[in-house]
């Protein structure tokens, strides 16, 4: 191994310098500053910061829009994550049975939404979901009435429409991960099951799913963390409307910080609540993975 | 046998569903005055023209947005290739005090949701007087913790015999890095480069917060402002959207393996 020499120490320092600077200036400082801001009232015009303790955190519980954003975000997580995970698993098991060019084609097609910009996808769906959009046209073709107000304009359908789009985007991505997980299952397990006469369904239930557990757990956590941060689709498609029906935690952070006066401190507090939720999920995941696998 | 056909048919229907919105975008982008309720057959068989693309590029500043996207994504990608490799190399091959702390800072940052720091990072840019500059769009992302992690893992799994031989032959640090480490790490550097390019090409939140002058907008930012500006001309909007999506789809088809590896890295323990 390379020994400790002064010259080498300087080299090591220089090699690490870009990361150390980036870490301090663009990550560590913002995280700390954001916490201080969350305990303050920031006056936009005079650029003053007044310390107000936990007032911002307490104010959240009386802010109806925040509570709506919290419940929307939780709804988003609890609806989209299980559906995406199940669809991804079903599709992966099916794609795993195909071969050669067809398999490559499916992988590429299903992954397409994941490489396309979310802004672009949100724009396309805004078009498809509109009052005279193609989704209504299709529904009318098969004799249904469609959504006469437009899917994103109606209180009842705005949030579900965005959730459906997010499921459409994410399913292919997680399908690829499950597919990779399937490759790690030893083939002789299935051979043994074949010999003892187990049906395909039995094999799925007692070999595939248990062996996929670490992969599925990983997907659940990653997808949960992602779904807690829904923002771009809301900004592009509904701006939180109609009547805050589709607002989310990150959208509240954005709106308070950048569209309202003197609310940057409050917005930072909302951001910190979100940070705390995500941190707890990440730590739980690490503990679970360590314990079981 | 029958079951196999049923599975294939289901998978093909789903694949068409996955591709349809992208197809819809491209189809609309070639129509002069598309009606949103046009049926797919009507869209498909009516006339095609590049009018929307020329209009978007010449009179709606999409030429500037496109150029900005190319500049920002390219510079950030080159920065990551250099800096992630240097730092990853130091972490994988050098013994020094503080190695663990640096690793901890990298893993810790990977766990920070970027949305959480949007306010303080915006304040930092204001204090640096960097709002509406290329620095704001580029400098914070020149080295990414995920990239460092990727290179570090890759180099840790390669024996250091070649380097030790080079040291005995009298090669200096500079030569070792550029003549041995970079060629050695090439496969993972390609994964890193394609991943970083993709992420920055599609990036919206920070470019959106750090600019309010159209001179510095990238495609995703320009698209959202264009949408809010007037009654929507879907044909032109979709031609702008296609300019953002089509290059990345082509890159995806070319580097499919690397992109999937980058986007799903860490998911499966091998």
Contact across the interface for B11 and A225, Cβ inside 8 Å: no
- B26 to chain A, any CB pair closer than 8 A? The answer is no
Pick from B89, B113, B142: which is nearest to A278 by CB? B113
Q: What is the mean pLDDT of residues B193-204?
A: 93
- Residues on chain B touching A40 (C-beta within 8 angstroms): none
| Percent with pLDDT over 90 in chain A | 53
Share the mean pLDDT of chain B: 87
Q: What is the mean pLDDT of residues A92-97?
A: 92
Write out residues 70-89 of A within 8 Å (CB-CB) of B: none
Give the tens place of pLDDT for each residue, A154-168.
Answer: 888 999 999 999 999
Domains and CATH numbers, chain B: 1-49 (no CATH), 56-264 (1.10.3720.10)
| Percent with pLDDT over 70 in chain B | 92
For chains A and B, CB pairs below 8 A equal 250
Contact across the interface for B201 and A117, Cβ inside 8 Å: yes
Give the tens place of pLDDT for each residue, B82-103.
Answer: 999 999 999 998 888 888 999 9
- A169 to chain B, any CB pair closer than 8 A? The answer is no
- Could you tell me the pLDDT band of residue B230, with boundaries at 50, 70 and 90? low
What pLDDT sits at residue A289?
Answer: 67
What pLDDT sits at residue B65?
Answer: 94
Tokens of A153: 């304009």
- Residues on chain A touching B234 (C-beta within 8 angstroms): 127
How far is it, in rounded angstroms, from Cα B155 to Cα B237?
Answer: 45
What pLDDT sits at residue B270?
Answer: 34
What pLDDT sits at residue B232?
Answer: 76
Contacts of residue B38, defined as CB under 8 A and 6 or more positions apart, other chains included, come to A134, B31, B46
Q: Which of A109-113, B44-48, B203-207, B208-212 has the lowest mean pLDDT?
A: B44-48
- Could you tell me the pLDDT band of residue B52, with boundaries at 50, 70 and 90? confident
Write out residues 185-224 of B within 8 Å (CB-CB) of A: 198, 201-202, 204-205, 209, 219-220, 223-224
What pLDDT sits at residue A45?
Answer: 74
Q: What is the mean pLDDT of residues A132-155?
A: 84
* A40-43 and A48-51 beta bridge pairing: antiparallel
In this structure, what is the dihedral angle of CA atoms A96, A99, A104, A105, given to the nearest 10 degrees?
-100
Give the tens place of pLDDT for each residue, A7-28.
Answer: 788 889 999 999 999 999 999 9
- Residues on chain A touching B253 (C-beta within 8 angstroms): 108
- A251 to chain B, any CB pair closer than 8 A? The answer is no
- Could you tell me the pLDDT band of residue B41, with boundaries at 50, 70 and 90? low
What pLDDT sits at residue B33?
Answer: 67
Contacts of residue A99, defined as CB under 8 A and 6 or more positions apart, other chains included, come to none
Share the mean pLDDT of chain A: 89
Asked if residue A3 has pLDDT above 80, the reply is no
- A223 to chain B, any CB pair closer than 8 A? The answer is no
- Could you tell me the pLDDT band of residue B215, with boundaries at 50, 70 and 90? very high
What pLDDT sits at residue B268?
Answer: 42
- Residues on chain B touching A130 (C-beta within 8 angstroms): 36
- A15 to chain B, any CB pair closer than 8 A? The answer is yes
- A239 to chain B, any CB pair closer than 8 A? The answer is no
Pick from A20, A130, A229: which is nearest to B115 by CB? A229
Give the tens place of pLDDT for each residue, A180-238.
Answer: 889 888 888 888 888 888 888 888 888 899 999 888 988 898 899 999 999 999 999 99
- B13 to chain A, any CB pair closer than 8 A? The answer is no
Global pTM value? 0.90
Q: What is the mean pLDDT of residues B11-18?
A: 93
User: What is the value of ipTM here, to two decimals?
Assistant: 0.89
């Amino acid at each position: 191994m390379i020994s400790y020499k002064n010259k080498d120490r300087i080299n090591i320092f220089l090699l690490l310098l870009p990361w150390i600077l980036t870490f301090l200036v663009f990550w560590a400082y913002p995280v700390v500053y954001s916490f201080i801001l969350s305990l303050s009232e920031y006056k936009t015009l005079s650029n003053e910061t007044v310390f107000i303790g936990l007032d911002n955190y307490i104010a959240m519980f009386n802010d109806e829009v925040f509570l709506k954003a919290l419940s929307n975000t939780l709804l988003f997580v609890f609806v989209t994550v299980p559906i995406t995970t199940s669809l991804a698993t079903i599709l992966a098991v099916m794609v795993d049975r195909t071969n050669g060019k067809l398999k490559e084609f499916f992988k590429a097609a299903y992954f397409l939404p994941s490489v396309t910009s979310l802004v672009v996808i949100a724009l396309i769906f805004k078009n498809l979901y509109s009052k005279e959009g193609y989704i209504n046209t299709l529904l009318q073709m098969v004799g249904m009435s469609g959504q006469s107000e437009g899917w994103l304009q109606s209180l009842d359908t705005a949030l579900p429409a965005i959730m459906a789009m997010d499921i459409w985007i994410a399913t292919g991505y997680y399908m690829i991960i499950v597919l990779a997980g399937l490759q790690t299952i030893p083939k002789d397990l299935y051979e043994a099951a074949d010999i003892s006469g187990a049906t395909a369904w039995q094999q799925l239930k007692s070999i595939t799913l248990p062996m996929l557990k670490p992969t599925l757990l990983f997907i659940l956590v990653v997808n949960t963390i992602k779904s807690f941060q829904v923002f771009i689709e809301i900004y592009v498609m509904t701006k939180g409307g109609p009547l805050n029906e589709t607002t989310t935690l990150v959208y509240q952070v954005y709106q308070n910080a950048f569209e309202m006066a003197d609310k940057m401190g409050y917005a930072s507090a909302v951001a910190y609540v979100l940070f705390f939720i995500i941190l707890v999920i990440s730590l739980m995941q690490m503990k679970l993975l360590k314990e079981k696998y | 046998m029958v079951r196999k056909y049923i599975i294939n048919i289901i998978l093909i229907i789903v694949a068409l569903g996955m591709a349809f919105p992208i197809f819809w975008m491209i189809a609309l982008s070639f129509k002069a005055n598309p009606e949103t309720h046009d049926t797919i057959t009507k869209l498909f068989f009516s006339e095609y023209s590049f009018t929307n693309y020329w209009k978007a590029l010449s009179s709606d500043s999409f030429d500037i947005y496109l150029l900005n996207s190319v500049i920002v994504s390219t510079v950030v990608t080159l920065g990551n290739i250099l800096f992630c490799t240097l730092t990853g190399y130091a972490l994988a091959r050098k013994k020094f005090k503080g190695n663990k702390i640096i690793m901890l800072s990298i893993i810790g940052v990977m766990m920070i949701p970027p949305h959480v720091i949007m306010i303080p990072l915006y304040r930092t840019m204001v204090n640096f007087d960097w709002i509406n500059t290329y620095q704001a769009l580029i400098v914070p992302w020149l080295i990414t913790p995920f990239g460092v992690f990727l290179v570090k893992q890759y180099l840790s799994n390669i024996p250091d015999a070649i380097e030790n031989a080079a040291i005995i032959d009298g090669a200096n640090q500079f030569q070792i890095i550029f003549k041995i480490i970079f060629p050695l790490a090439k496969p993972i550097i390609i994964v890193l480069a394609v991943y970083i390019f993709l992420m920055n090409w599609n990036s919206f939140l920070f470019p959106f917060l750090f600019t309010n002058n159209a001179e510095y907008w990238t495609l995703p930012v320009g698209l959202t402002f264009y949408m809010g500006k007037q009654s929507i001309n879907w044909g032109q909007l979709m031609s702008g959207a296609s300019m953002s999506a089509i290059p990345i789809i082509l890159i995806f088809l070319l580097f499919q393996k690397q992109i999937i590896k980058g986007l799903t890295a860490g998911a499966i323990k091998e």
